[in-house]
Structure 1
Amino acid sequence: MKRTENLSFVLEGVQKLKFEDRPVPQLQDPHDVLVRVKFTGICGSDVHYWNCGQIGPFKVEKPMVLGHESSGIVEQIGSKVTTLKVGDRITMEPGEPCRRCDACKIGTYNLCPAMAFAATPPYDGTLAQYYRLPEDLCYQLPDSMSLEQGALVEPLSVAVHLVRQANVSPGSSIVVFGAGPVGLLCCAVAKAFGATKVIAVDIQPGRLEFAKRFEATSTFLPGSGSALENATRLRTENDLGNGADFVIDASGAEASINTGIHVLHPGGTYVQGGMGRDEVNFPITAACTKELVIKGSFRYSSGDYKLAIQLLASQQVKAQELITEIVKFEDAERAFQNVKAGRGIKILIAGPEE
């Protein structure tokens, strides 16, 4: 069958979105797979590119297809594909590493300097009718999982990576700053890993109410005081003694970063996942005198997608509860506006109708 249409949702420039019919991607390698995209979640990075045209060094300099949280159905396979067949339901890992650099060879391919990541300039994303990926970045969904759940594997993998970076252990306490989709999923993954105290922190009471209904064992609304004062109150209200075992920041806010450092007990672990300003004021004395373990976390790497699928399939993490709305492809711009306005938790965009 000859394909001539690939309807795509394109960021043309700052706050300029349009639909565009683009060429259907061609298989570039015998191990490639062509996917008919069925559902795509909207990520904060997509909205940020739309609003600002840039995240750190990544600047939108030409029209770019948005989206990277997607599931779909295999439409075509290369001659050497052995693990998938046409018609299989899959979730898509949207970053293609070089596979040759030192980072790739040791399994930390998320740090590959030549990573081609969907909807990160200059690479097009997955908000289109068709998308091409290598076979090993397409994961078949278990029968128990829906394609809607498949679109949640990408953000869940981010949370899995964050919690694995922290080395969360059974019986531990963790404070998660930011009750957006990734922060909420961090709460769920930490609980699945055995954490018994999971405290969600946010400045929006509605988000905290959802977090408590979801997987947080308790919540905390920061006050107008200093980071140290908020940390002290957080510890007291949640019976954390001299501090929490782990902190994950999924907000990127300077106030959260500072409070997170202060709320940890000596020897605790802090993991930064949220991206805010390039540079922030940081309580370095507290970090040093408490001998904290401080780590960054970037996307996901070896094993994270497979574990995310297992957590979803077993319903140890009920990520589908985050889905607020599913909109038609032609309503994609309205969906972006809703995410920007903070309406809902996770909005999915259905693929173009055939």
Structure 2
Amino acid sequence: MANMAAVMNRLGSIDIEERPEPVPGPADVVIEIRAVGICGSDITYFTHGRIGQWIVDGPIVLGHEASGVVIDCGPEVQRVKAGDRVAIEPGVPCDNCRECRRGDYHLCADLAFLATPPYDGALVQRLRMPERCVYPIPDSMTFEQGALAEPLSVGLWACRRSGLRPGEDVLVTGAGPVGILAGCAALALGARTVTIVDVSDFRLSIADRLGLRAERPSGRADPDHDVLIECSSAQPALTSGLRRLRPGGRAALVGVPKTELAELPLAELVPQEVTLALVNRYAHTWPTAIALLAGGRVPSEHLVSHHFPLEATAEAFTLPGRSQDSLKIVIEPQRLAG
């Protein structure tokens, strides 16, 4: 049985190729991948070939939001067994550096992260991962929900980085999947209100259906929120969002700026003692993310807008540029076209 993968051999092009069958090491598992969510970073690699310091310089398999079924285990594996349904945390730290030893494994300089050059990702039918990177999901969860544990983890980490406290008012700029999930996470963690701002009526309609207050950009600068979670990567959204923070407000910046330098209205922020926190992925979030999705405290039924078989990966990657009504796209590697 061939192990097929969606391989980007050239910029903007995907080939379906056979990859070697994975064999587990002593503490590894082999997973039959059932669902892979497409992230904005995947599309950026597909269209531009780089994100900051990470440059695609050869064939690469994309996709890092994944779930599936364990089909083989190494002899030292103890937490999972063949047949378990699992969500995959896509970063493998070294476990030896100062950051790993203090628990900040997401800051490990040697972190091997799926679909980040030079490491291949999860758009493959069978994948080997360390046991430490897989988390069982209940039968009540779908595989697409398992894949959503990754972007939800980004939202959870943003809430933690912002120092969100129950009863606070939260502003989210950018109603992509991460922004919407960050807003839903904030509500689940006790936010009094969550307002989300975007230019897309379609995305705002999904946010509204999931219980968030949806707004289009208005240029208003009233200090009416305690926390800002910036997920748009747009300079105007960052500036206007910061200006809507109350004195002592906190901002968590998830979006990666499209330019090397971002502008901050410091003359306005300093007197208010606004705190800025940067967000680099997540750490120790998977059990919480799975519990919130499985228990329905973070709703997900409207987030996935499209499903594709593995052979249509190229079509899936170009869909956001062709359709205004796409949100989270999921590829099912076990489903072939035809």
Q: Aligning the two structures, in what range does the TM-score lie when normalised by the shorter sequence?
A: over 0.9
**Which whole-Å CA distance do the structure 2 matches of 1:131 and 1:279 have between them?**
37
Q: Contact 1:74/1:90 (CA < 8 Å) preserved in 2?
A: yes
**Which whole-Å CA distance do the structure 2 matches of 1:8 and 1:214 have between them?**
34
Please tell me whether residue 221 in structure 1 is matched to residue 221 in structure 2: no
**Which whole-Å CA distance do the structure 1 matches of 2:248 and 2:211 have between them?**
26
Relative to structure 1, the CA distance from residue 328 to residue 353 in structure 2 (aligned partners, 3 Å threshold; closer, same or farther) is closer
Q: Contact 1:231/1:260 (CA < 8 Å) preserved in 2?
A: no
AA in 2 matched with 1:126: A
Match of 2:183 in 1: 187
Please tell me whether residue 9 in structure 1 is matched to residue 2 in structure 2: no
Match of 1:134 in 2: 130
Relative to structure 1, the CA distance from residue 337 to residue 343 in structure 2 (aligned partners, 3 Å threshold; closer, same or farther) is farther
Please tell me whether residue 345 in structure 1 is matched to residue 309 in structure 2: no
Name the SS of the counterpart of 2:109 in structure 1: coil
Structure 1 spans left out of the alignment, 5+ residues: 224-229, 236-241
- Structure 1, residues 1-27: CA drift from partner, whole Å, max 9, x if none? xx6x22111111221221111112232
**Which whole-Å CA distance do the structure 2 matches of 1:89 and 1:345 have between them?**
25
Match of 2:170 in 1: 174
Please tell me whether residue 21 in structure 1 is matched to residue 57 in structure 2: no
Structure 2 spans left out of the alignment, 5+ residues: none
AA in 2 matched with 1:282: L
TM-score, normalised to structure 1's length?
0.91
**Which whole-Å CA distance do the structure 1 matches of 2:18 and 2:4 have between them?**
4
**Which whole-Å CA distance do the structure 2 matches of 1:153 and 1:81 have between them?**
22
2:53 to 38, 49, 57: 57
Tell me how far 1:340 sits from its aligned partner.
3.4
Moved more, 274-283 or 113-122: 274-283
Match of 2:242 in 1: 261
Moved more, 147-156 or 53-62: 147-156
Please tell me whether residue 30 in structure 1 is matched to residue 26 in structure 2: yes
Please tell me whether residue 86 in structure 1 is matched to residue 82 in structure 2: yes
2:98 to 98, 102, 105: 102
**Which whole-Å CA distance do the structure 2 matches of 1:143 and 1:222 have between them?**
40
Match of 1:330 in 2: 311
Tell me how far 1:167 sits from its aligned partner.
2.1
Tell me how far 1:63 sits from its aligned partner.
0.3
**Which whole-Å CA distance do the structure 2 matches of 1:15 and 1:347 have between them?**
17
Paired-residue identity, %: 37
**Which whole-Å CA distance do the structure 2 matches of 1:287 and 1:54 have between them?**
33
Alignment of 1:299-314 (within 5 A): 299-302=281-284, 304-314=285-295
Q: Contact 1:329/1:352 (CA < 8 Å) preserved in 2?
A: yes
Match of 2:265 in 1: 283
Match of 2:153 in 1: 157
Match of 1:238 in 2: none
Tell me how far 1:231 sits from its aligned partner.
3.4
Q: Contact 2:27/2:74 (CA < 8 Å) preserved in 1?
A: yes
AA in 1 matched with 2:224: G
1:245 to 226, 246, 255: 226
Name the SS of the counterpart of 1:148 in structure 2: helix
Tell me how far 1:343 sits from its aligned partner.
3.4
Tell me how far 1:206 sits from its aligned partner.
2.1
Q: Contact 1:97/1:114 (CA < 8 Å) preserved in 2?
A: yes
Please tell me whether residue 68 in structure 1 is matched to residue 60 in structure 2: no
Name the SS of the counterpart of 1:153 in structure 2: helix
Name the SS of the counterpart of 1:81 in structure 2: coil
**Which whole-Å CA distance do the structure 2 matches of 1:231 and 1:286 have between them?**
15
- Structure 1, residues 213-248: CA drift from partner, whole Å, max 9, x if none? 1121x222114xxxxxx232xx3xxxxxx4310000
Q: Contact 2:5/2:125 (CA < 8 Å) preserved in 1?
A: yes
**Which whole-Å CA distance do the structure 1 matches of 2:117 and 2:325 have between them?**
27
Name the SS of the counterpart of 1:326 in structure 2: strand
Q: Contact 2:5/2:310 (CA < 8 Å) preserved in 1?
A: no
TM-score, normalised to structure 2's length?
0.95
The size of the alignment, in residue pairs, is 334
Q: Contact 1:7/1:352 (CA < 8 Å) preserved in 2?
A: no
**Which whole-Å CA distance do the structure 2 matches of 1:336 and 1:131 have between them?**
21
2:220 to 199, 216, 231: 231
